[in-house]
Amino acid sequence: MRHLLRVLIAASILVLSTASSGCMSESEEGFEWPEPVSWDCNLDASYGLDCDLFLEAFDIPHQSLINPVSGELWIVYLSGYIKSWDGDNLELVADLSEVVNRCHMEQGLLGVAFEDDFATNGTVLISYVAEGSCEGPNQSNLTLATISIDSEGLLDPSSISILKEIEQPYRNHNGGYLLPLGDNQYLWGVGDGGGSDDPHQNGQNNSTPLGSILMFAYEQGDISPVVQNQTGNQYLLHSGLRNPWRFDIDSYDRLWIADVGQNCYEEVNLVPLMESANFGWSEREGEHRFYPNGFTNEDGTCNPDEDGSPLPAGMTDPVGFYPHENGNCSITGGFWMDWGPESLRNGYIYGDFCTGSIWIIEEIDGEWTETKIGNSGGMIVGFGEGMNGEIIVFHWTGDIVEISQKS
């Protein structure tokens, strides 16, 4: 009964929202979200993995990170809450629900990272869409800020200090993920500003931070650029992205970016971290030319290169991509596996929001090969690392699933 109630609540939220994500309708109205489904793992037996329910929630968890001081697991919720899990109890760490905007289902608290000196200064970096009116055009900025631990061990909203704001033309495609690199340096993912077909052509405009991965250093309460470039945007590291919801660094200092597609394809990009690249949006989607307004065939199928026109030059194609077939609709990036289950080491894992399918892409005989690991149930919004090296999978319905190696 409790699970049914949670699903009904999630369904009500989805019906009432004017949302879009990934393959979803790119206007801010009219998208029919898939029916919420509960977790139901079905993994390929050859990998020798166990899959179990980790936690349940009446909210939308999407990120986890391990507190470097206590070793506890922090769980981040889109609604603005952060909770700490010690293996037995879930305790509130932060209530930022009055700070973040939730007018749209892609808005909220989007990224959290511990500052390198967290053990001594208690500072945390946060990325969120700031509170604003839900009426009319979007007026809420994507915001990078710091927040500090108070004497009771909670993050104090009154301590928020804004570092940078990015104007968002629409309410979707915010990105917002934060990835610490060490040495007080961080990556910040920023979507193309939303709307259908990249209406402002932000993906190929390097003078804007939209549609990119930004890199910055944080020291003494302020940020500074790290990258040297000629674009006029000193923080720009990689461009030509639509909605880089998740990305990760591997053991070889390469950056893996799962970029959410629109009409036909979801893509996995790979590039040496510091070699700036243009991934093609909105000229390309996957390895194909992108055509605004949808498809080339009357029946709605994808055949985007039928006209034989050459693809734009100077862009980096993905190492992996998959089509919007068999219910797949929107990629959710995961991790390069140099930790966790042994059978998944030395590959990048990712999943699909709509189907719950999970894949691993590995280099085999010099070629990148994608293999389906299985399915965690559906509506995957994020992956995380648990306190004992297990993979955590976050679902839109609030279910948190853990995947570990069988003993």
Chain segment 17-42, per-residue pLDDT in tens: 333 334 433 444 434 556 666 778 99
CATH number 2.120.10.30 given to 2-405: yes
**Mean pLDDT, range 338-342, rounded to an integer:** 97
pLDDT of residue 18: 32
The pLDDT assigned to 13 comes to: 36
How far is 116 from 323, CA to CA, in rounded Å? 39
pLDDT exceeds cutoff 50 at 200:
yes
pLDDT higher than 60, residue 136: yes
The pLDDT of residue 305 is 63
Q: What is the mean pLDDT of residues 7-18?
A: 35
Dist. CA 280–CA 358, nearest whole Å: 25
Phi, psi (rounded to 5 degrees) for 332: -120, 115
pLDDT, mean of residues 162-190: 97
Mean pLDDT is lowest, of 12-26, 281-295, 316-330, for 12-26
Which pLDDT value is given to residue 337?
98
Per-residue pLDDT, averaged over 182-202, amounts to 96
pLDDT, residue 162, reads 98
Read off the tokens for 144. 């990078």
Instruction: Indicate the pLDDT class of residue 2, thresholds 50, 70 and 90.
Output: very low
List the single range of 224-238, 240-254, 325-339, 392-406 with lowest mean pLDDT.
Answer: 224-238
Measure the CA dihedral 256/65/374/56, to 10°: -150
- Of all residues in the chain, what percent carry a pLDDT higher than 90? 77
Domain ranges of the chain: 2-405
What's the pTM?
Answer: 0.91
Q: What is the pLDDT of residue 14?
A: 36
Instruction: Decide if pLDDT at 117 tops 50.
Output: yes
What is the mean pLDDT of the segment spanning 229-250?
93
The Cα–Cα gap between 391 and 210 comes to 30
Residues 6 or more apart whose Cβ sits within 8 Å of residue 270 = 254, 255, 256, 257, 318, 319, 348, 368
Q: Please report the pLDDT score of residue 29 as a whole number.
A: 42
Residue 39 and residue 6 in contact, taking contact as beta carbons nearer than 8 Å: no
Averaged pLDDT, 56-75: 94
pLDDT given at position 288: 86
User: For residue 308, what pLDDT is reported?
Assistant: 60
User: What mean pLDDT is reported for the chain?
Assistant: 89
**207 pLDDT higher than 80:** yes
CB contact set of 14 (below 8 Å; sequence gap of 6+): 33, 36, 105
Residue 143 has pLDDT above 60, yes or no: yes
210-224, 290-304, 308-322: range with lowest mean pLDDT: 290-304
Q: What is the DSSP annotation of 332-351?
A: EEEEE-SSS-GGGTTSEEEE
* Alpha-helical runs (H) found in 43-122: 118-121
pLDDT value, residue 303: 66
| β-strand partners of 142 | 129, 166
- Residue 10's pLDDT is 40
